[in-house]
Every structure is written in structure tokens, then in C-alpha cells.
Amino acid sequence: MTKQAIEQDPVHVGDLPGKHIVLGLSGGIACYKAAELCRALIKQGATVQVVMTEAAEQFITAVTLQALSGRPVYTSQWDSREANNMAHINLSREADAILIAPCSADFMAKLLHGRADDLLSLMCLARPIATVPLLIAPAMNREMWAHPATQRNMAQLSADGATILGVGSGFQACGETGDGRMLEPPELLEDIVAFFTPKVLAGQQVLVTAGPTYEAMDPVRGITNLSSGKMGFAVARAAREAGAEVTLVAGPVSLGTPRGVKRIDVKSAQNMLEAVMQQAQAATVFIATAAVADWRPASSAERKIKKDGSGQAPQLAFTENPDILATVAQSPRGVSGALFCVGFAAESHDLEDNAQAKRLRKGVPLLVGNIGPATFGRDDNALLLVDAQGSRELARASKLSLARQLVAEIASRIKQAR
């Protein structure tokens, strides 16, 4: 979240307010990432208690983690700072979750078999399973990751109730390339926030469109708009956090795909329509945030259109693009209510009147209006929710904050319709 967005969203206190995370480090070069992860958790409002194994101390010092967490680091089950000498009990009872990052192959095996020969493994075994979840961020060499023993251990840990956060792929410290790297701190943070988010859209299949479309005039020029796709990507992330399976159909934008979201890249309005109609067959919620071009050139030149020195602009004929939202909303699944459709309207003036007119024209139960020039490319926005009963404002805030509010609104309406 940018400084500008925070200033516009003064009530924002982070995505993990009040959460207390025990961050456990086992041995591995990825311990250096744990420092950034610790800081990121705190920036999002969490408190962090670090517990390190003896092996982890070979890769990063307790002093570093103490400075970042603002708390003394625990490394031994015999730590005399605890009055009852039961750090494994006290620390686990205080936690909202225990996160092992990095979690080595050896430590995964130790967890699986219930071994408890150091403070971290003892704490994991002693934690109240029903109230203190265990999150695991594996980190190891690609061959160790692919080994059948590791895969068996991971599957059994998952069956025992642990949450495996997955691994990244790429160049490893050993010089090899492949799966097994610990996820980057921003990826882990996104997964942790999602873990704690109430799953109000559990069981829903959400389809989101985002960004502009590009309508080619010739091989190098075309018609598009200033939409950055940020609002749509935020909606996709918020829906995934809320427990939905999310497919994101994105126009030409330069944004990273939200964690756990399936992405389909398209270019033109026709491309987007084809992708949406295919995906809409399985969707239960359709959120059309994309700023689709209303018109496209009737034909695209095979070669670049050049100036001829006459001073006369080329004569271009235009044809109307398909109306993606109306097509989906007026399809049998849209009309029956099996597919709950939400539209977006980017207007330049008279927002409420134009948004209400657009909602009726498209035939959707909910339309979200905003002023395009005031939001395109920005990290913050202000929204107007328009339905048959009238309208309601969502005050200016970060786009992710607004996306979460919108997802909660959609979930509430779906629940009421049952």
C-alpha cells in the first residue's frame, strides 16, 4: 500500500491487526528471507515472536531477528527467562498461528514423526491443534523437494492439519535450478493474510475481468484507454482471500498475478468476450471491472499506416465492440441467477445517474461506479454501489481495501438470495 493510499485511508491498520505470529526458523540459507518476512508481518499490524533452531543460528543471528521483531528470540527449551521453564507451552498458547519459514526437509520429517528434541519442534507438538494452526513454508534443494520421502511427509503433514504454503522455482544457492525455493516474503505475506481472511465466498467460482482492451488499427497502433487493471486485480485477490476459486481475464497490463488466481491474458474486446464466455460456464459470480473499448476499427491494416505528406488524416471506419457484461448477464445462467453479475462503470460526470442507467441497460443486480479520470493508474479509489434500491458510497481508500468491501457485499447478497 502506498503512502498516498494510506493517507487517503486513515483507518488502515494493516492486514493482520492484533495477530500474534510465532515465526519459527529451521536451518537453511533461506533464513535470510525470514528477516524481511518478520518485518513485513509487523508492518501489517502483527506481533512476531521468533523461535530459532540451532541450525538456523548458523545462517542468521538471533540479534538480527530480535532487532526486527522487537522481542527476545528463543533458541532453547531450557531458556531460564520463563518462570515455569516451559517456553514450549507459553509461546504456543499465546500464538494465533505458528509459521515455520524456512522449514527444511529435516524439520518437516521431525514434525511428521512428532519428534520434539528442540524448542521449535517441541512447541509445534505441544500447540493446541484446534486453536493454533501450523503454517509451513518449505525451503530446500530441488532434489530434496522432489524426493518421494519429502512428498510423502508433506502429504501427511497436510492430512494432519498443517497448511503447506508451497515453494517457488528458480536459481538455488547450490547452483541448481528448480522447485524448492522458499516463497518470497511478499508471496508468503499474501498467503498468510488470505489464511486469516473469513471464507465468505467458499465454494464460489469467481470470474473477474480487468484492465483495458487494445483494438489494433495496424501492426503498431491501436485504440485503448488508461485503465491500469489495479482495481480488477485487487478484486481477484480479495475474492481468493475470501475462499473463492478465481479466474482473472486480463487485458494488456503490467501487473503480477495475485497468489492462487488463474490468469488468462487477452488483448482485444473480442478476445476478452471469447475467454469470458468459455469461463462463465463454470462461474457462479462474474465481476466485470475491465474498461472495454466501446469501438474498434472496422478493419486493421496489415502494414503500418504512414503519412503521405497530404496533411490529411487516414479515413477510419469503426464498428461497435460486443457488450461483454450485457452478453453474460442476459445469458440463461445470468437471467436465472445461477451467475451473479456485477458491473463497473467508469464515468467522467453524473456518476449516479449514468451508473443507474447502465445497470438497467445491462440487466445486472449490482453496478459499481467510479470516476475514471480520478482512478485510472492510482492505488486508491472511491466507489458508488448502485442497485434497484438506490446507491451507497464507499469512501476513498486503497483499491485492495475497497475490493475487500465489495467482496463482502457480494457475499452478503448471495447469502440473502439463497
Instruction: Quote the number of domains for the chain.
Output: 2
* Inside any domain, residue 87: yes
Check whether residue 140 and residue 66 sit in a common domain.
yes
Q: Which domain holds residue 96?
A: 17-196
- How far apart (Å, rounded) are the C-alpha atoms in residues 74 and 292? 55
Q: What is the pLDDT along the chain (418 residues), one digit of tens a residue?
A: 444 444 444 445 699 999 999 999 999 999 999 999 999 999 999 999 999 999 999 999 999 999 999 999 999 998 888 878 888 998 999 999 999 999 999 999 999 999 999 999 999 999 999 999 999 999 999 999 999 999 999 999 999 999 999 999 999 998 999 999 999 999 999 999 999 999 999 999 999 999 999 999 999 999 998 899 999 999 999 999 999 999 999 999 999 999 999 999 999 999 999 999 999 999 999 999 999 999 999 888 888 988 888 888 888 899 999 999 999 999 999 999 899 999 998 777 788 888 889 899 999 999 998 876 667 778 888 899 999 998 899 999 999 999 999 999 999 999 987 7
Check whether residue 116 and residue 213 sit in a common domain.
no
- How far apart (Å, rounded) are the C-alpha atoms in residues 79 and 99? 21
Domain boundary residue, one of 153, 169, 196:
196
Check whether residue 217 and residue 351 sit in a common domain.
yes
* Inside any domain, residue 302: no
Check whether residue 218 and residue 275 sit in a common domain.
yes
* Inside any domain, residue 313: no
Q: Check residue 55 and give left, alpha or beta (phi > 0: left; psi -120 to 50: alpha).
A: alpha
Domain boundary residue, one of 177, 196, 215:
196
Give long-range contacts, CB 8 A cutoff, 24+ apart: 66-73: 68/35, 68/38, 68/39, 68/42, 69/23, 69/38, 69/42, 70/42, 71/47
Check whether residue 118 and residue 47 sit in a common domain.
yes
Three cell numbers, residue 251 = 487485458
Three cell numbers, residue 350 = 453524473
Domain boundary residue, one of 130, 164, 196:
196
Distances (CA, A) of 308 to 39, 77, 300, 339, 370: 60, 82, 18, 51, 41
Check whether residue 48 and residue 153 sit in a common domain.
yes
Handedness of CA 115, 152, 258, 245 (dihedral sign): negative
Check whether residue 104 and residue 34 sit in a common domain.
yes
- How far apart (Å, rounded) are the C-alpha atoms in residues 232 and 257? 11
* Inside any domain, residue 141: yes
31 is catalytic: no
* Inside any domain, residue 367: yes
Whole-prediction pTM? 0.90
CATH number of the domain enclosing 210 = 3.40.50.10300
Three cell numbers, residue 135 = 503454517
* Inside any domain, residue 5: no
Check whether residue 228 and residue 348 sit in a common domain.
yes
Check whether residue 71 and residue 211 sit in a common domain.
no
* Inside any domain, residue 309: no
Residue 255: CB partners within 8 Å, gap ≥ 6?
Answer: 211, 228, 229, 230, 233
- At 115-153, the pLDDT tens digits run 999 999 999 999 999 999 999 999 999 999 999 999 999
Catalytic residue among 103, 124, 174, 341: 174
- How far apart (Å, rounded) are the C-alpha atoms in residues 214 and 191? 32
Check whether residue 346 and residue 404 sit in a common domain.
yes
CATH number of the domain enclosing 134 = 3.40.50.1950
- How far apart (Å, rounded) are the C-alpha atoms in residues 363 and 325? 9
Is-contact 113 69, C-beta < 8 A? Answer: no
* Inside any domain, residue 249: yes
Check whether residue 268 and residue 160 sit in a common domain.
no
- How far apart (Å, rounded) are the C-alpha atoms in residues 393 and 371? 13
| Spatial strand order in the sheet of 163-164 | 47-52, 20-25, 97-103, 134-138, 163-164
Check whether residue 177 and residue 228 sit in a common domain.
no
